[in-house]
Amino acid sequence: MTNSSDPTFPIREKAAAFENVVTGTSCNQSSFKTKRGSFFFAGPGAKGIGFKAMFKLKGSMPQA
């Protein structure tokens, strides 16, 4: 994981704390997945500037 100067760090910590979550990488991003597949990706922004976070929501999209 990255350090606390990364604004996605708190989200990464929460995602990693869920039961049965495996962390890995996908391209140049950190990925968080369970048996059902990946649900969160975090990494550098476009062209290495800034940060980005992406979520797979499917059924929870209305709540988001």
2 pLDDT band, cuts 50/70/90, is very low
Task: Give the residue, 48 or 4, on which the prediction is more confident.
Answer: 48
Q: Domain map of the chain by residue range?
A: 9-57
Alpha-carbon distance of 19 to 45, in angstroms, equals 28
Composition of the chain by helix, strand, coil, percent to 5: 25, 40, 40
Its pTM stands at 0.76
Closest CA to 16 of 1, 3, 27: 1
Dump pLDDT digits (tens) for 33-57: 998 888 999 999 988 899 999 998 8
